[in-house]
Structure 1
Amino acid sequence: MDQKGKQYLKGRLLLILVVMVMVVVSACSNGANGSGNKGNGNKAGQESQAPSDNGGAEKDPYEGLPKKISISTFDRGQVSSDEGTYEDNRWVKWIREQSGIDVSIVPVPRNQAQDALNVLFASGGAPDLVWEYDRAYIGKLVTQGVIQPIGEYIEKYSTSYKKYLEEHPELLPYLTFDGEIYAVSAERPLFAVANHGVWIRQDWLDELKLDQPTTVEELIAVAKAFKERYPDSTPIVGHTTSDIYSAIYGAMNFQWYLEDGKMQYGATLDRFADVIGLEKQLYELGLVDKEYLTDSNNQRASQLWTTGKAGIYLGQWGRGSNDIMIKDMLSNVPTANPVPLEMVASQYGKYGAYQEAPPNIFVAFNKDMKNPKAAIEYLDWLIDGGWYPLVNGEEGVHYEKVNDVPKQLDSDKFNKEVLYAGEYAVVRDQVTKAEDLLALAPDDEQSQRIAKLNMTSLEIAMKNEFRRDIPYQPSFDKINEIRSTLDTFIRETRATAVTQGSKYTGQWALEEIRKEWERLGGKEADELAQKWYEENKASF
């Protein structure tokens, strides 16, 4: 017999031997335990159901498990006491009834969401599903190994979201890390692409016969004029102050930029010293609230703005909590005239305030979750239309359809009973045009006034492009490891430079940040980012 024949015979004998062993093991386990579902027989039973040529199917490991999941949400302080809490209210009950999934809500403070989630992961108490708007944060979770790839779950268990993703393939690069899908997301409607914005008291400008500021220097001059005219005021307040200052100079500390074809981290750019320098100047001139660095829940900034004690607000472009603040201001100060303000220019040009990339919320799966199948079913239910009442409320109670647009019936009722529920609609197939904003608002005079302001504000927010040199940020272990330490260092250094006197300048802060960047391995991160850019730029 030739060598090839010997190998074939040897293979056949080995196969027969394996089959005989499996039969003996199966028989023994059945005899010892009375069935194949206990002891070693359970394991053998599972193995016997593996896919085979005769059409056998592997048993679904999640079949029969309780349809129970937990999911994080942002606590923005919008749930009134008579509505309940973020964990227990009419909409959580409705979600459970309509979806057939026992959903538990785990709220985290909006302004400290990532820190809170980090603590939950470290303690083993993180929910099954966690979400953030920040793709880079999802990348950090990938690096830490606390979330899992979900491509197979989508392929095996999803129908609606899988179809949605097929219809929106442009989302895939944003959802993919290290070649695998680690998150789900949906496309943002236009009003959700616009994010940050600036508002100013036009009535104060008119009284002082001042034009709206168009440059950093003019912004400072206007704020000083406000302070002189209204000594008890705080000219500039807000909850996105640091990000607005950074966007003015095109130097967000957490983004990568292309400088003469070279990738450079935002916090290490020369112009990041200007960002901190502006923040320090406004602080030392008494033009901002001395306590703004510790106003983590935005209560103080909101109070100063809505009671007419501030002239410029650095926040969102409109809608949601912004509408509530304007409404409160008009109630407290009927003569107030808040209007949107276009971003001012610096010596580097004019950029827009922060605008989001096409994906909306990134939802990731905890690696320790018990039932990913139930999680996929829940997300399918949301994208199928479960999101709609969470965003708009109950038809006939909170809205009516006008030309297929859900028009609010009573803004106060909506804000109290529905607004907070939008946090639960983590994936939504929502398409809205700017002109819909008027139709969405109730017909009363004040609501229509605010809606018109929002239309103008949306136009202004999108007028200037937010500086984003690459469509999405690179995510790999080295950068994510550095960020986990550097982000805190930047906040602390920035606060020191702003509040601790003339010895600590913007340039001093930049040099300290650069030293820390180098200490943490920034040189290697620069090289990795450049390599990533060269490999991916053709697809941008």
Structure 2
Amino acid sequence: MNRQKEKRRRCRLLLLPGLMLLALGTTACATSGGDSSTAKPKPRIKVSVYDRVNVPSSEGSIVNNKITRWINEAGPVDVEFVPVLRTQSEQKLNGLFAAGEAPDLIMEYAPQIKNTLIDQGLLRPVDDMIEQYSTTYKERLQRYPILRKAGTGEDGRLYQFGRINETVPMRAAFIRTDWLERLQLDIPQTTEELFQVAKAFTEQDPDGNGKRDTYGIALAGTPGVVIDEMFGLIYPDYVVRDGELVHGWDNIEAVTAFKKRVYDEGLADREFWNDKNGYRARQDFLRGRIGIYLDQFNVPTAFYNDFYVRLKRNVPDARLTVIPYPVTPVGQFNPVFVNPVQMTGVVNAATRNPKAVMQYVDFAVSEQFMKTMYFGFAGIHHTVAPNGCPKLIGMEKWRTEFNYGVGDFGMLTSPTLAGRCYFGTEKLDEKEPLQREVQKMFELNSSYVNFALETAGPTHAEQMPRLPQDLQGIVNQLTGVVGTDGDLWLKAILTPNYSPEEARKEAEALWEQAGGKKVDEWYRNFYAHDRDQAIMTKDIYQLFREQRATRGK
């Protein structure tokens, strides 16, 4: 017993110096004006983030990196980020909700995923959160009422947070001008001329190596999507004709006929249908084997880093330009635009701290957050240029440490709202020749927009009106068969004795048998009577005009 008392006495003596130091430290804090005893920990919430498996190994993981650490240090709440594989978003979110583990704030682009969650009562309206707790987002709604229009559910309540994007043509048609000059060809103005140029690029040795080893055009992946756009088609395959919204059967048949000619003449990779994501076609173009390539072009820095630099490294003499979408047998169309009003955030109905969620949303839409996402840390990734705009110090360092996460952590940021500094081309350096070329092509692509024309589809796919569930079921059931890139149309391209006309007859019959006429009638009535309630092409054009005017200031 005495031994135990002596042991306790020695422990107290050992602890005494530490307790004295702790007391001194506390006194020092108190005398400097702070009181650690009254400091409250930040509230904690969970927020989903897309995982694209693209974080450099030097930067950690999608949930633990420079960006996430900065968010938790600078922001008003502690955030636990929940990774959601970009390619499996719906499955992952459904599993999290089923297990009662869904994040407080869900960041998601796809309307069909969010609408289903709203129907199931798994998401909460956010009107009260904004009214009681918000400052920044509340001001954003007042400045841009279109955000409320886009985020309101069928019951009239606001369910989604969103952002204002730089709206520019999302994609572009690129052509090798050095090949045009070598073969003395003009820029194609129609899809027939496009076909003839592709044929010459395939058969007349445009690279001058004495071999027949080039393709005129690509069909796989994004190039195939852009060809659909040229013919006026985006999901769900409805087009404006003579003032009505109609099923684009004429357009699908016409684009299938064009692709079939390209395939039959060997002007594209004969195995394009097996190149599911277009990776092989992209590599062929970057190695200088394809003359006409159609790709994403709404982020010029990404195009420069991931595309143009690699092409010029492989083929130093290659020269590119962008061309307007050519006239097709079913008309001429502008490219699809970046969705200018994009709803990206929804709130779990089971969240226990809506105030903390709103605090994070206000932080995520702030200018401070936006500057950091787009330009990194001051003095490390950017300096301030004479015009007052942040300017990247080194593209490569920013690319490694921020580029992987800008889009996904910044899904609530609206860069254009802070003025001309934050438009896409501001990261490009005009003194660097290749970056200057990309900037010129980017501006040229926007200059081709003809406001007298429709875009592919009556609006951006994310702004299409929401079908009733029974009609959406019909679309879901048949899209993979009779949609633009469905099995029937692929069969028409690949099969010698099966024409696009025959595919159309079979597709329309299947559509009618499944009740598709009811879908057609619903869309027709919407366009005739209710289109002013949605964001349509004319609204996108207006925002595009306003933003271009801002850039000119």
The aligned residue for residue 8 of structure 1 is none
Write the distance in 1 (CA, Å) between the matches of 2:511 and 2:236.
12
Q: Does 1:419 align with 2:403?
A: yes
Write the distance in 2 (CA, Å) between the matches of 1:239 and 1:404.
40
The aligned residue for residue 482 of structure 1 is 474
The aligned residue for residue 382 of structure 1 is 364
Instruction: Check the 8 A contact 1:65/1:371 in 2, yes or no.
Output: no
Q: Secondary structure at the match of 2:294?
A: strand
Write the distance in 1 (CA, Å) between the matches of 2:78 and 2:290.
46
Structure 1: which amino acid aligns with 2:96?
Answer: G
What aligned pairs does 1:324-335 form with structure 2 within 5 A after superposition? 324=305, 325-335=307-317
Write the distance in 2 (CA, Å) between the matches of 1:371 and 1:284.
60
Q: Secondary structure at the match of 1:363?
A: strand
The aligned residue for residue 413 of structure 2 is 428
The aligned residue for residue 47 of structure 1 is none
Alpha-carbon distance change, 321 to 438 in structure 1, aligned in 2, over 3 angstroms: closer
Q: Does 1:392 align with 2:375?
A: yes
Q: Does 1:185 align with 2:157?
A: no
Q: Of the candidates 499, 503, 526, which is equivalent to residue 520 of structure 2?
A: 526
Q: Does 1:466 align with 2:467?
A: no
Q: Of the candidates 77, 81, 85, which is equivalent to residue 104 of structure 1?
A: 81
Identical amino acids, percent of aligned pairs: 25
Write the distance in 2 (CA, Å) between the matches of 1:64 and 1:487.
50
Give, in angstroms, the shift of residue 328 of structure 1.
1.0
Instruction: Check the 8 A contact 1:199/1:313 in 2, yes or no.
Output: yes
Q: Secondary structure at the match of 1:426?
A: coil
Give, in angstroms, the shift of residue 470 of structure 1.
5.7
The aligned residue for residue 293 of structure 2 is 313
The aligned residue for residue 303 of structure 1 is 283
Q: Secondary structure at the match of 2:338?
A: coil
Structure 2: which amino acid aligns with 1:72?
Answer: V
Give, in angstroms, the shift of residue 381 of structure 1.
0.5
Structure 2: give runs of 5+ residues left out of the alignment: 1-39, 206-211, 535-553
Give, in angstroms, the shift of residue 315 of structure 1.
0.9
Q: Secondary structure at the match of 1:277?
A: helix
Write the distance in 1 (CA, Å) between the matches of 2:494 and 2:148.
45
Q: Does 1:90 align with 2:62?
A: no
Write the distance in 2 (CA, Å) between the matches of 1:435 and 1:416.
20
Structure 2: which amino acid aligns with 1:195?
Answer: M
Q: Secondary structure at the match of 1:193?
A: coil
Cα root mean square deviation, aligned: 3.2
Write the distance in 1 (CA, Å) between the matches of 2:364 and 2:93.
25
Give, in angstroms, the shift of residue 148 of structure 1.
4.1
Alpha-carbon distance change, 223 to 425 in structure 1, aligned in 2, over 3 angstroms: same
The aligned residue for residue 118 of structure 1 is 90
Instruction: Check the 8 A contact 1:136/1:473 in 2, yes or no.
Output: no
Alpha-carbon distance change, 162 to 506 in structure 1, aligned in 2, over 3 angstroms: farther
Write the distance in 2 (CA, Å) between the matches of 1:161 and 1:140.
25
Write the distance in 2 (CA, Å) between the matches of 1:352 and 1:509.
27
What aligned pairs does 1:231-310 form with structure 2 within 5 A after superposition? 231-237=212-218, 239-266=221-248, 269-310=249-290
Structure 1: give runs of 5+ residues left out of the alignment: 1-62
Give, in angstroms, the shift of residue 136 of structure 1.
5.7
Q: Does 1:343 align with 2:321?
A: no
Alpha-carbon distance change, 393 to 65 in structure 1, aligned in 2, over 3 angstroms: closer
Question: May I ask how many residue pairs the two structures share in their alignment?
Answer: 468
Alpha-carbon distance change, 524 to 322 in structure 1, aligned in 2, over 3 angstroms: same
Q: Does 1:450 align with 2:438?
A: yes
Write the distance in 2 (CA, Å) between the matches of 1:255 and 1:130.
29
* TM-score after normalising by structure 2: 0.75
Alpha-carbon distance change, 84 to 435 in structure 1, aligned in 2, over 3 angstroms: closer
The aligned residue for residue 427 of structure 2 is 440
Instruction: Check the 8 A contact 1:205/1:211 in 2, yes or no.
Output: yes
Write the distance in 2 (CA, Å) between the matches of 1:248 and 1:411.
33
The aligned residue for residue 193 of structure 2 is 218
Give, in angstroms, the shift of residue 390 of structure 1.
1.0
Alpha-carbon distance change, 438 to 378 in structure 1, aligned in 2, over 3 angstroms: closer
